[in-house]
Amino acid sequence: MTIDQFDFKGKKAFVRVDFNVPLDEHFNITDDTRIRAALPTLKKILADGGSVIIGSHLGRPKKVEDKFSLRHILAHVSKLLGVEVKFAPDCVGEEARTLAGNLKPGEALLLENLRFYAEEEGKPRGLAEDASDEEKAAAKKAIKESQKEFTKKLAALADVYVNDAFGTAHRAHASTALIAAYFDADHKLFGYLMGKEVDAVNKVMQDIRRPFTAIMGGSKVSSKIDIIENLLGKVDNLILTGAMTYTFAKAAGGNIGNSLCEDDKLDLAREIVAKAKANGVNLVLSTDSKIADAFSNDAKTDFAQNDNIPAGWIGMDIGPDSIRAYREVILGSKTILWNGPTGVFEMDNFSDGSRAVAEAIAEATAAGAFSLVGGGDSVACVNKFGYADKVSYVSTGGGALLEAIEGKKLPGIAAIEGE
């Protein structure tokens, strides 16, 4: 059942969204992208003559704290949605039940931060640092039991469950996965955003047009190893970039100066090179770098080969040879996945590589390739350089997207699809 097929007339819909937006010290929203992303789903339900009960988290509270209250975003949500959204100062209490029960068609209710309850995440809170294993086990068992009651109360607020929060789809939390068990197959569905995210991931990982190129950046090989392992069985070209490549350069016997390196992962780097060769994957590593004598935008800079960086100097971005090599591979691709910048793109003096990758992906997309950009830094890149609307899809999910690329079935997706 898709959201377009469902008629919400007269129905109360619990919609799990991701309104975890950044706030300044005065509680002003500094980026409302996530709120805007959920609007099509919310407006569809209201236009059908249904009512919406909006559930979200904000931050990572460990108790009830005003700075994490969703009350701070209420006015902006009302403005964007075009209706005066009511607010429940709780999410499962008596007032929340009353407000939800009294909702009329076309009305909306925003529940207070779901994570004010430990039951949302299902993790014990308040344990003493010296708690014994037995005490930890008892606390975990107790929270799992109370989580069932919490989830049941959330589900009782609505007639239908809509998950539109891909950013939390990798979490088996009460509102993102467990709640789905209280609705039959015809009354639990993806919102528009969630549907687009699932389609985009499937297109990149299953419905592949070749050549398929994945660009993986980041500082550590260890943090991307599961993704790399999975991609080596799928891609034609794997571009590894960012600071992780200095581990590969050192593993091959090069001098990398003061560049970031995981000395305990040199064997792993050599294994990845061997596995890529065995799988017939074209592994593209950066060969040169823009280097600096300090980790600063104002540092003295130069260029060097990755295996010959002088002592005291740091690799901060890819160099011109690598830009040309990456560009050639990207422009020859029909499916492109980008996760992770080529360097310290936040500093303007070291943003050329990431800009060049974004530009090449945009060109390939214009020529007919399908491109998926995901992960906080990559999304920040395409936004900073003005290419967000020139790629096929920009994912809102950081950890969720990475786990999907690793080949994991996300709890928030499995709960709807019944797998």
**Residue list, annotated binding site for (2R)-3-phosphoglycerate:** 34, 115, 171
Helix, strand, coil percent content, the chain, rounded in steps of 5 = 45, 15, 40
- Preceding peptide of 211 cis, ω within 30°: yes
Specify binding-site residues: 18-20, 34, 57-60, 115, 171, 224, 315, 346, 375-378
Contact 272, 221 (CB under 8 A): yes
Active-site choice (93, 106, 254, 399)? 399
| Residues contributing to the annotated binding site for substrate | 18-20, 34, 57-60, 115, 171
**Amino acid letter, residue 3:** I
| Active-site entry in 82, 233, 376, 386 | 376
Q: Which residues are annotated as a binding site for ATP?
A: 224, 315, 346, 375-378
Which residue is it, tokens 């007639």? Answer: 159
The amino acid at residue 69 is: S
- Name residue, tokens 């701070």: 72
Ramachandran category for residue 148: left, alpha or beta (phi over 0 → left; psi -120 to 50 → alpha): alpha
Choose, from 97, 220, 327, 408, the residue flagged as catalytic.
220
For residues 7 and 156, give the distance between their C-alpha atoms in angstroms, rounded to a whole number.
20
Q: What is the arrangement of strands in the sheet containing 108-111, beginning at the earlier edge strand?
A: 86-88, 108-111, 51-55, 12-16, 160-163, 188-190
Question: Is 233 a catalytic site residue?
Answer: no
Here the tokens at position 244 are: 């992780």
| Active-site residue flag, 34 | yes
Q: Which of 11, 16, 34, 196 is catalytic?
A: 34
Using the structure block, give the residue that is written with the tokens 């017939």: 280
Q: How many CB atoms lie within 10 A of CB 279?
A: 14
Q: Which residue numbers are catalytic?
A: 34, 220, 376, 399
